Structure formats: structure tokens, C-alpha cells
Amino acid sequence: MAPTYAIPEPTSTGEMAFSAPGLAGTTWYRVTGELGAGPPPLVVLHGGPGAAHDYCLSMANLAGVGEGRAVVHYDQIGCGRSSHHPDADPAVWKPELFVAELQQLVEHLGIAEDFHLLGQSWGGMLAPEYVLAHPAGVRSLTICDSPASMELWLQAANLLRAELPEEVQQTLTRYEASGDYDDPAYLAAMQVFYDAHVCRVVPNPPEVAATFAQIEAEPTVYHTMNGPTEFHVVGSMKDWTIVDRLPAISVPTLVVSGAHDEAMPLVWQPFLDAIRGSRSHVFPASSHMPHVEEHEAFLEVVGGFLAEHDGQAGA
């Protein structure tokens, strides 16, 4: 099934100089719509880490929901059109770096005091980290297809792997034991999981394929923080959790996922349990990318949530 949506052209693009301890470079961004006109803008945080923004581009259509909302996409440093740092100390790649980058970006764009925040996958882990560090300017938080801890993420991954055909499971296990993640047999077995639980639109739309190609071309951040695949997490984020800190979040929060998502309900239930007033929506025909797989429904649900909280300041 091919997607029926079109991706709007950006109204503007730009680069911001970014610096943090141990790293300096540039952050690329694009804006759909006019900042400073209409409702508070939406900032979209892509996944990975290191997956680049392209696969989230259909969310730019949220600029057409409501009256003139601007939507900001950007490539987190280390991937996509932002500066690449394959020789950086691996210790610099941590959530605090990306929280600092987002804060510098919203200040650069002049929206730090009033914006909506949406994160997809890793972006939905980064977004609550940002809210905890800088709560005042965030009107609402949308967490898409994201875990509250990597321990829960791996529990879900193991449950889903156990449902794969036996020969696929054996292939994955054999090549993970040897570390030969580039072998065609491993990649083919990996794709079985991805087609079921990451994006069920096969072949993937061009913007989704572009993100996967970008990870392959520049895997530094993804491999350092996550690991070689979505379900074999051996990177620096493997012990990450935000569960115990969630009660401190008080901004209006929506959690969404797909019924076939690798982000099973067990991974995002802590958001609902701990963030007062939070609510959820599950898209029945989607896996990890409802914004692609059920695009119109995604716009309706998320766009409605944003409009509902346009008049409410954050924490």
C-alpha cells in the first residue's frame, strides 16, 4: 500500500551553530509555516538516535491542521544534514547533549517560551527529558511509539522476536552471537521484523527509506547509543530509564502507538501511570510509524490534541 499524502515544501531552512562540552558543530532545521503567526508552533524530535528527520516529514502536514501552525523539523547533531562527528568521543553521545541542542534551537528560533513538543521513538524519550529540564515553555507533550525505559523496550522486543518464524529467530541469534550484522542473511531476517513492527507500508515510502539509508551511511550515533538494530540494543542507552522521574512532568501529555508497534503497551504504560492527566491512542492498522501508516487519522488525533492545548501554557 502506497501512502496517499504529499509532503509540503519547507517555508524556510537554516543552520544553527551548536556547541556543548566535547562537541561543536551545526544543527540543520526546516520550518513549515510561519513562526510567530498562528497557534504555537510544533517542534518534532526524530528517532534513532541518529535516524534523521526525513521519515517524520509527513508530520509537516500538521501545519495544515488548525490556523497556520508552524512545524519545525531538525536533524539532531551527528546525523542527516547536521554536522557529522564520527571521531567524537563516544561519551559525548548522551541525552543531555540533545537536550542542550534542542534548548539552543528553540532559543535560536525565538520560540523557547511557547511551543508544543512531539517526539517519535527515541524522540519520545528525549522529549520528556527536555520537559524535565526546561518545563516552562512547553504547552503540550506528544510521545509517539516510545518506551519509558530500555529495559521495557527489550522486554517487548524479545516478546515480538519470539513470534517470528523459527528460522528467522535462529538467524538473528546466530549472527548476533558472531557480531556479523552486515551479513545479507542477518539483514534479511532483520527486515522480517521491521516489515511487521517498524513500518508496514512496504516498500517503505521514499522519506522513510531515506532515513534508513542515512543510518547506514552514518551509523555513529545510532550504533553508539542504541546498537546495530531496533531489537538488539547494546549501546550506551541500554540502561536508560525515565520511569522514576515521570511524576515531575505536569504538561498535558498524549501517548500514541500502533497496534503492531515494536513499542508495545508495556513500554509506554509508565507514561500514563505517572503523568497526571495523560491519555493514549492506539492506531489499529499501524506499527511503529502511525504518522505514515495511518496518516489522516494521525493528523486528526494529534492535531486535535495540539488545538485543545493551544490556549494552555506548560508547566
Question: How far is C-alpha 277 from the geometric centre of its chain's CA atoms?
Answer: 22
**Which residue is listed with cell 518545563?**
135
Give the catalytic positions in this structure. Answer: 121, 261, 288
Q: Say how many C-beta atoms besides its own lie within 10 A of residue 209's C-beta.
A: 14
φ and ψ at 293, to 5 degrees?
Answer: -75, -35
Three cell numbers written together for 234: 547494546
Question: How far is C-alpha 228 from the geometric centre of its chain's CA atoms?
Answer: 17
The answer to whether the beta carbons of residues 206 and 51 sit under 8 Å apart is no
Rounded to 5°, the CA angle 295-255-289 comes to 35
Rounded alpha-carbon distances, angstroms, from residue 198 to 152, 195, 267, 272, 289: 17, 6, 15, 22, 7
For residue 139, give the 3-state DSSP assignment.
strand
List of residues 6+ apart from 158 with CB closer than 8 A: 231
Spatial CA neighbour of 84 closest among 13, 14, 18, 12? 18
φ and ψ at 112, to 5 degrees?
Answer: -60, -25
* 310/119 Cα distance (integer angstroms): 18
Amino acid at position 220, single letter: T
